[in-house]
């Protein structure tokens, strides 16, 4: 019999949980979370497929090889409890609209410092508790941290020093740059980390704050079977802003509206648009022949691959750092810009927009038709 979804969380309904990263740790999480009986909706995020080397390091069968990780894990969840609604997003976490991450809890098994930093920012701004885990196969270590976005609580970056920031990967690396290496830790160690995460998730969703690992880290030394628990404090000099956003979800704002309609729907004092986690660009550059050409306004991470093919040499085109802009000024919009739909610029259902002006700022989430939900360009 499938686990019976409960209403034991503080909201009196089955919880919504996001799992980011389905590798050494994350491949064990979906089926374990599904068995808690506390979850009614599960969002899975990972861009990759399972490959042969993953069999030693991850919870993957031979029949899963060559298939997307989110597809494999979706099937597993449905075998455990077919009543759980699953949203599978084959994408990097940086490409997922923030609105799709608004949940009761985020579980993360990431192997990149930048990805962790970005997720810390996202979860905190959205007000979503998140649990982070990592492993060290050589030292046989597994660790778990629980973060609760609230006033005076420590975030991931509160414990960072200059050395941690210096070790960050490039946020916008060159296309030829090496990717962050995977952990290659034994699957057994990933399973231990995942189990500790799910135990903490059950406490959090049940409202068991007295025993929750909030603001602390548990390090499990599996070689010596020893545990080390470290408490963290809010760092007043932390580089992260610790803001909790209030996000509106008006029914009249969707990617189908034009940029002009968005401008007209805002008050006269709002003159600038920002999409947290994204940059705007109007130019691309060929990495092979050096050709630079103007391009329609677009979110950098969502430029279609067909537009990144050099017409001169056939090489790959990219956006240079100095061609990226964090904001778009409404007054600079041309007539052609105003006629374009937000979707043609790269906006997706669930994107959160920061609309700003002198001394004012508010956040709006783009809505979608039913058949559009969950799409990531």
- Which CATH number is 184's domain given? 3.40.50.720
Query: What Å distances lie between residue 111 and 168, 177, 275, CA to CA?
Result: 12, 16, 25
pLDDT of residue 231: 95
Do 221 and 367 share a structural domain? Answer: no
Q: Which of 336, 374, 365 is nearest to 252 (CA)?
A: 365
Instruction: Label residue 103 left, alpha or beta by phi (over 0 means left) and psi (-120 to 50 means alpha).
Output: beta
The yes-or-no verdict on residue 96 having pLDDT over 70 is yes
In a domain? residue 68: yes
Decide if 113 contacts 148 (C-beta within 8 A). no
pLDDT class of 176 with cuts at 50, 70, 90: very low
pLDDT at 7: 45
At 363 the pLDDT is 96
Helix (H, G, I), strand (E, B) or coil at 286: strand
Is there a domain that residue 115 lies in? yes
266 and 161 inside one domain:
no
Residue 77: per-residue pLDDT: 98
Last residue of a domain, one of 175, 201, 231: 231
Per residue in 254-307, pLDDT (tens digit) is: 999 999 999 888 877 789 999 999 999 999 999 999 999 999 999 999 999 889
Does residue 266 belong to any structural domain of this protein?
yes
Does the pTM surpass 0.85? The reply is yes
Same-domain status, 255 and 340 = yes
Q: How far apart are CA 33 and CA 105, in angstroms?
A: 11
Residue 208 lies in a domain: yes
The verdict on 337 and 208 lying in the same domain is: no
**Do 47 and 164 share a domain, yes or no?**
yes
Domain count, the chain: 2
* pLDDT at position 83 over 90: yes
191 has a pLDDT exceeding 90? yes
Domain co-membership, 334 together with 204:
no
Q: What is the CATH number of the domain that holds 330?
A: 3.10.290.20
Burial of 362 (0-12, 13-18, 19+ CB in 10 A): middle
Q: What percent of the chain has pLDDT over 70?
A: 90
- Quickly state the pLDDT bin for 158 (edges 50, 70, 90): very high
Residue 80 and residue 155 share a domain: yes
Segments forming the whole domain that contains residue 336: 247-279+326-372
Q: Is residue 87 part of a domain?
A: yes
Buried b (16+ CB within 10 A) or exposed e, 179-204: eeeebebbbebbbbbbbbbbbbbbbb
Whether 265 and 198 map to the same domain: the answer is no
| Predicted pLDDT at 2 | 44
Instruction: Say if 34 falls within a structural domain.
Output: yes
Residue 92 and residue 48 share a domain: yes
Quick check: 234 pLDDT over 90? Answer: yes
- Whether 195 is in a domain gets the answer yes
Query: Quick one: 224 and 261 in the same domain?
Result: no
Same domain? For 144 and 171 the reply is yes
Residue 155 has pLDDT above 50, yes or no: yes
H or E segment to which residue 259 belongs: helix 259-265
Position 183 in a domain:
yes
What span, in angstroms and rounded, lies between the C-alpha atoms of 27 and 57? 10
Could you tell me if 25 and 162 lie in one domain? yes
């Amino acid at each position: 019999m499938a686990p019976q979804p409960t209403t034991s969380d503080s909201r009196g309904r089955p919880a919504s949980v996001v799992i980011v990263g389905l590798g050494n740790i994350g491949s064990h999480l979906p089926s374990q979370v599904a068995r808690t009986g506390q979850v009614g909706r599960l969002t899975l995020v990972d861009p990759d497929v399972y490959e042969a080397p993953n069999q030693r390091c991850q919870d993957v069968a031979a029949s899963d090889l060559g298939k997307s990780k989110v597809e494999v894990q979706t099937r597993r969840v449905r075998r455990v409890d077919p009543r759980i609604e699953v949203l599978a997003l084959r994408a990097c976490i940086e490409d997922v609209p923030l609105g799709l991450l608004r949940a009761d809890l985020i579980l993360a098994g990431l192997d990149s410092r930048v990805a962790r930093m970005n997720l810390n920012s996202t979860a905190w701004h959205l007000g979503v508790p998140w649990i982070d885990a990592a492993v060290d196969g050589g030292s046989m270590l597994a660790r778990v941290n629980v973060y609760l976005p609230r006033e005076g609580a420590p975030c991931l970056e509160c414990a960072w020093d200059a050395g941690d920031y210096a070790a960050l990967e490039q946020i916008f690396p060159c296309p030829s740059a090496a990717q962050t290496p995977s952990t290659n830790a034994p699957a057994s160690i990933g399973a231990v980390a995942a189990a500790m995460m799910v135990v903490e998730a059950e406490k959090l969703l049940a409202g068991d704050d007295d025993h929750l690992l909030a603001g602390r880290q548990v390090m499990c030394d599996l070689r010596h079977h020893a545990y080390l628990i470290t408490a963290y404090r809010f760092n007043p000099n932390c580089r992260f802003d610790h803001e909790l956003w209030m996000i509106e979800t008006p029914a009249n704002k969707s990617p189908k509206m034009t940029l002009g309609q968005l401008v007209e729907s805002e008050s006269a004092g709002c003159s600038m648009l920002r999409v947290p986690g994204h940059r705007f660009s109007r130019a691309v550059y060929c990495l092979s022949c050096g050709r630079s050409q103007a391009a329609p306004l677009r979110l950098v991470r969502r430029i279609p691959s067909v537009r990144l093919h050099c017409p001169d040499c056939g090489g790959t085109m990219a956006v240079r750092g100095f061609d990226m802009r964090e904001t778009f000024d409404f007054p600079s919009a041309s007539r052609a810009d105003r006629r374009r739909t937000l979707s043609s610029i790269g906006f997706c259902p669930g994107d959160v927009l920061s609309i700003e002006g002198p001394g004012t700022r508010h956040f709006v989430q783009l809505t979608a038709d039913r058949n559009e939900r969950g799409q990531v360009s």
